[in-house]
Amino acid sequence: MIVGAGQAGSDAAAALRMAGHQGPITLIGDEPHLPYSRPPLSKAFLLGEVDEGGLILRSAESYRDHEIEILTEARVSSLNSIERHVVLEDGTTVPYDKLILATGGRPRSLPNPELSAARNVFTLRSARDASLIRQHLSQARRIVVVGGGYIGLEMASVARSLGVDVTLLETNPRLLSRVTSPVVSGFFRQLHQDEGVEIRLNACIDKFETDDAGNFESLYLTDGTKIEADFLIAGIGLVPNTELALGAGLKVDNGILVNEYLQTSNPDIYAIGDVARYPDQQHGGLSRLESVPNASAQARRVAANLTGDCLPFNSVPWFWSDQFDVKLQVVGLSRGYDELVVRPDPSRARAITVFYLKGGVVISADIANSPKDFAFAKKLVAAGAVVDSALLANAAIPLRDLVPLPASI
């Protein structure tokens, strides 16, 4: 059984069949849709380039042909790990032999609950959220986006592309401060400013105003600045959905804790995707990553482990973000780096390639608008390549020449 019908859950169900699992598979989701892709919600879907049907990961026929039972609009209210069953909100009991928790997360709320409750203050996680935001964008002249991470920047870029004025508020002194270097933060700040986004850093909301119908109208920052807008979008992070695991007595700490095989503290229960906090083979300690490639890689690994190929999860993470005409691709995690190398390329407009090294080892790269550089950067990071920073910085030397050759047997 799989609880959570997002990317991780759907991929796990498919991977189990591909790995040869012959038993029943039940996939439980609380939304009315078949499992769908979430990344387009803040990009192509908001722009009207794709509809809800275009988000679907696999057709109903595909699930039926592979004998995967899907329960939609079914919310699991409790998990009994002793008797091995879950209970749905309608009282239905569903038994399992092995259980995969792919419960994902929910958007973090603004610190002010009254502001979060305003009728035209939105967060983005589901297709329903995106539909509401798209509807309001079609009528808006000015919006406020709270949060200078990937989601906030992507929504700001969509709104500006639709001709809407945008003020973006970030409490930290730079954009993307939790995930990248000041160099890349500065690159995206300049990109958004060039496109007309008003960016306010070190910005904290002091108070706000609503109309008689409960709609947000304006806010005041702590420096006294007043900002009026037609609506507000908050993109300030994700809270992992751990309540089900916690209620069942599983170990939880900023996610469901799993071992290197993605097993929870109960060996018959696994956790994958945004909710899983797992041993980080690259940096040590524990990581919880919110990315589609990570969710899919964990889904394949747990399916293989459940069908007899028991190996630790050890996949190099990668991410992407689309903002205006810039595609940022990231491989590895840059935390703990002790050297940063910018690889110049004057032939490419609105592009940047940055490598992060630790002890001479390439541990991560941020690459904007260069798929070719990204392909070789993935190989460098996966190989744990030791590369002279002067060579990395020399654009005259092709990156492919810096990728170490496979060891001969």
Q: Tell whether the model's pLDDT for residue 90 goes beyond 70.
A: yes
Kindly report the length of the chain: 409
* % of the chain beyond a pLDDT of 90: 94
129, HSE (Cβ side, Cα atoms, 13 Å): 19
Q: pLDDT of 185-224, one tens digit each?
A: 999 999 999 999 999 999 999 999 999 999 999 999 999 9
Sheet with strand 256-257: strands edge to edge: 256-257, 276-279, 286-287
Q: pLDDT of 222-260, one tens digit each?
A: 999 999 999 999 999 999 999 999 999 999 999 999 999
Sign of CA pseudo-dihedral 342, 343, 346, 352? negative
Please count the other Cβ atoms lying within 10 Å of the Cβ belonging to residue 43.
Answer: 18
Q: pLDDT of 262-287, one tens digit each?
A: 999 999 999 999 999 999 988 889 99
CA–CA separation, 236 and 112 (whole Å): 13
Q: Tell whether the model's pLDDT for residue 406 goes beyond 80.
A: no
Q: Tell whether the model's pLDDT for residue 409 goes beyond 80.
A: no
Question: pTM of the predicted model, to two decimals?
Answer: 0.95
**Average per-residue pLDDT for the chain:** 95
**Where does the pLDDT of residue 405 fall: very low under 50, low under 70, confident under 90, or very high at 90 and above?**
confident
pLDDT at 344 (0 to 100): 87
CA distances 406 to 247, 316, 364, 403, Å, are 47, 17, 20, 9
CATH 3.50.50.60 fits 2-106+240-306, yes or no: yes
Which DSSP state fits 249? T
CATH 3.40.50.150 fits 325-402, yes or no: no
109-234 folds as FAD/NAD(P)-binding domain (3.50.50)
Q: Tell whether the model's pLDDT for residue 19 goes beyond 90.
A: yes
pLDDT at 407 (0 to 100): 57
CB 8 within 8 A of CB 298: yes
Token pair for 268: 């018959």
Q: Tell whether the model's pLDDT for residue 347 goes beyond 80.
A: no
pLDDT at 345 (0 to 100): 81
Asked whether the domain spanning 109-234 has the same topology as the one spanning 2-106+240-306, the reply is: yes
Section 380-405 average pLDDT: 94
Sign of CA pseudo-dihedral 243, 245, 248, 251? negative
* % of the chain beyond a pLDDT of 70: 99
Please count the other Cβ atoms lying within 10 Å of the Cβ belonging to residue 125.
Answer: 17
Section 134-155 average pLDDT: 97
What does the domain layout of the chain look like in residue ranges? 2-106+240-306, 109-234, 325-402
